[in-house]
Structure 1
Amino acid sequence: MYPTRPGTMFLAPFRRLTPLQRRAFGACFWGWTLDAFDFFILTYCLDSVAATFHVDIKTAAEAFFWTLCMRPVGALLFGYLAERYGRRRTLMTVILCFSLFEIASAFAPTFGIFLFTRALFGIAMGGEWGVGAALAFETLPSEGRGFFSGLLQEGYVCGNLLAAAAYGLIFPLLHGHGFLVNWRLFFLIGALPALLAFYIGSRVEESPAWKTRKLEAAPQPGQPKPMNIAGAILHNLPAFLLLTLMMTAFMSFSHGTQDLYPTFLKHDHGLTPRTTSWVAIVGSIGALLGGICCGTLSERFGRRRVMVTAALCSIPMIPLWAWSHAAAMLALGGFLMQFCVQGAWGVIPVHLNELSPAPVRAIFPGLAYQLGNLLSSKNGPFQAELADRFYHGHLTPVLAWTVLVIAIAVALLTGFGRESKGADLSTV
């Protein structure tokens, strides 16, 4: 059991790690954080992007679709490379790619080219989660795995937090004159994660499980032993399909409460960019705490039970989150809502890795995760369309219905799955 004194509860798991394990986890956490920062930059600048290219919000939201729908391609491509050439080298490649495509987005001269660059970014983003999670959990000890799962997944929230802070601090200072201003500047800032690749190359070691497997899989003379990735997935097809459906619900849960929320705050409630920023930051803090707390609780109560409970607890938060009028109450609602949403999400990295067959641990969870993204990739445009068609452009009722329906779906699909807490991830 970890110490429970204030200030030691969250430090104890780190103290148990070796320097090698700390560096591996840190690289994976920051890779996911900076990847999410690059994604969430668009959620805060969506109206500015729409104005630049002379399109409406619904059309501009298609950029979310192209990013999300291309993520399975990245999960498949980079997952395969990670199984064959190693997690560390592939993670470096992924980070360099999404930084390059972020720069390309900043220089897009037309909306069509902007959508193309966001699709390319989606391929790189799709590879980061599965490869990074495999490297992390194959390196970390089994004790405290739930805590590290919650913290790793909330790298996504930390990316949102950084994007909100950058938007609130920098955007009000820009004046909109010239080419590289407003949202384009934020996309250039989003290229900084490329520096992380050099750190990984010099300080992070390869997954011990992958190195062991490569040694054991070395073909003997006259007896080749090829890796059968497709066979491993087909052998576990029912579990893979259930995980894909579960991740579709989880993606709708997350993106349905996040992607259009800054636009909702500005358009439905008339909040300024600075106020929108701090409301989003408060929500992100709730998300971060929810992911870590629920991930840690899953060590004691089981993965599925904690995810189902967190998802259902989001439903009572709907009135405060969506229907409040004062900025302070909206911030409180955002804190509680994201505590529940990302609390359920915090268990996902370890849960998917524990359920995955050892020979395809870099591709199996990542592909299910990103196929869920594909199946929910029209979420943003769909929400915007519903708001335009039935509610005169107001997002409030659409966001409220999204949470109600999707929280129930998350609870049901998670409950139908199996529990595999404590599975040995050092096996190959």
Structure 2
Amino acid sequence: MAAPSESNGPWYAEVTGYQWLVLAIASAGWAFDAFEGQLFNITRSQLLADLLGAGDQSQAVRLWGDRFLAIFLLGGTLGGVVFGSLADRFGRKPIMSLTILFYSIFSGLTFFATDLWHVAFLRFFVALGVGGEWAVAAALVAEVFPPKARAHASGIFHSTSVLGTWLAALAGILVGTQWRYAYVIGVIPALLVLWVRTSVREPERWQRTGVEQRPRGSFRELFGTPRWRNSAILGLLLAAVGLGTFWGVIVAGQDLTADLLIRLGKSKEEAQQSAKFAYGIVQALGGGLGLLAFGPLAERLGRRGAFALMHIAAFIIVPITCYVPQTYAQQLMILPIFGFCTLSIHAGYAIYFPELFPDHLRATGAGVCFNGGRLVAASILVLSGELKALPGMSLQLAVSILGCLFLLGLVVLLFLPETKGRPLPE
């Protein structure tokens, strides 16, 4: 099928008010997604030190922190796959509402956690909602927006995760060592369900699949058809690189900053508070700009070209961030660049994955790619925890080693198709 002709105006010229509304709702859901995911990262030193009865810089805290992140990735995997399939079967609107309720309620219940297994259980169920909401929202934005605006809108959708990171950082700074109160705030996104229920309509593309009586959300068709199976597996591997490096490398910006400040003579509490600001605000700002930049880059260089460029940039910036800064001011200067290069590729997943699959498998396929990648990334997190806990292993060296994973993304890209300028598969 030939790509439709495009007008010469700006990409947003033909976007309707309802399409902007869908983008706002999807983005709000994803921003709170990121908030729930980042809230643990922001508060985990105090949370784990409290529950373990250990010093907040002990190896046990770091090891359990990475283990809980691995559990989170496992939950996200199951949530993305299951809720993605349900969204293809029953519609985008009801499943989006359900996923938001999942991550809001179980995050709020963390306030009552008194043991490690409580945290593990609750983080797993928070992740179910987080993984599912992304799959539904990414498919919804891709289906509602016109072809010329699709990459830009999807990039904006994913870039709003930085707002969630800022909210988590502010919540962490506000509550200080009283980490339980940060999770009470996590209940607020449940109110978003009312907006979803009253404002969102099912996309016409999804409704047509019911008229045509095509099997919706079928894993048998997804993995039984060579074209869809290859896209799902390769997309999963591409996402695994980004998600593994996110939790093993990108979030280490906070720990790298704290370690630097402690070496400079700051107290642990002062170092942690300054590190929350450096990671949650300064680094996140650069990351948000990188996410916003990926859409225009994908339109200019193609999806594969944009991915390749940013994987190379990420591989280069990681060891620079680990070893070059010698003062807090220098750290604040390098972290936005670090965030820009390493986080930008995540917007590409929201742009690219929905373009790989047909209408009746879009949320299922996108969910398998993005959240199935979490399953592989979980093993990377276990490796990350063990690596950082090795005697004599510095945090800088461990993060630099994990940064080499970006090179694997370049290999995966060699086997994936280019979707720029092509209509969504029907």
TM-score by length of 1: 0.88
Q: What percent of counterpart residues are identical?
A: 23
Equivalent in 151, 157, 165 of residue 160 of structure 1: 165
1:260 aligned to 2:252? yes
**Displacement of 1:366:** 0.9
Q: 2:376 corresponds to which letter in structure 1?
A: L
CA-atom RMSD in angstroms: 2.2
Residues 260, 326 of structure 2: 8 Å contact kept: no
How far, CA to CA, are the matches of 2:184 and 2:22 in structure 1?
Answer: 27
1:275 corresponds in structure 2 to 274
How far, CA to CA, are the matches of 2:13 and 2:282 in structure 1?
Answer: 29
**Displacement of 1:192:** 0.8
How far, CA to CA, are the matches of 1:335 and 1:388 in structure 2?
Answer: 27
Residues 247, 381 of structure 2: 8 Å contact kept: yes
1:8 corresponds in structure 2 to none
The residue correspondences of 1:17-416 to structure 2 (distance < 5 A) are: 17-54=15-52, 56-57=60-61, 58-168=63-173, 170-172=174-176, 182-217=178-213, 226-227=215-216, 229-233=218-222, 234-235=224-225, 236-270=228-262, 272-280=271-279, 281-323=281-323, 324-392=325-393, 394-403=394-403, 405-416=404-415
- Cα offsets for 1:322-354 (capped at 9, x unmatched): 121212221222211221122222222111111
SS at match of 1:419: coil
- Cα offsets for 1:180-211 (capped at 9, x unmatched): xx111111111111111111111222222112
Residues 44, 263 of structure 1: 8 Å contact kept: no
1:422 corresponds in structure 2 to 421
**Displacement of 1:14:** 4.9
- Cα offsets for 1:136-185 (capped at 9, x unmatched): 110111113222222222222322222123323x034xxx5xxxxx1111
SS at match of 2:146: coil
How far, CA to CA, are the matches of 2:381 and 2:241 in structure 1?
Answer: 14
Q: 2:261 corresponds to which letter in structure 1?
A: H
How far, CA to CA, are the matches of 2:46 and 2:7 in structure 1?
Answer: 47
| Unmatched tracts of structure 2, length 5 or more | 1-5, 55-59, 263-269
How far, CA to CA, are the matches of 1:120 and 1:278 in structure 2?
Answer: 28
How far, CA to CA, are the matches of 1:202 and 1:272 in structure 2?
Answer: 45
**Displacement of 1:2:** 10
SS at match of 2:363: coil
Runs of 4+ in 1 over 3 A off after TM superposition: 1-4, 12-16, 225-228, 378-381
Residues 151, 288 of structure 1: 8 Å contact kept: no
**Displacement of 1:76:** 2.2
How far, CA to CA, are the matches of 1:135 and 1:386 in structure 2?
Answer: 39
SS at match of 1:152: helix
| Unmatched tracts of structure 1, length 5 or more | 5-11, 177-181, 218-224
Q: 2:189 corresponds to which letter in structure 1?
A: P
- Cα offsets for 1:8-53 (capped at 9, x unmatched): xxxx655642121111111111111101101101111111111111
Residues 311, 341 of structure 1: 8 Å contact kept: yes
The structure carrying a bigger helix percent of its residues is: 2
Q: 1:22 corresponds to which letter in structure 2?
A: W
SS at match of 1:391: coil
**Displacement of 1:81:** 1.6
**Displacement of 1:372:** 0.8
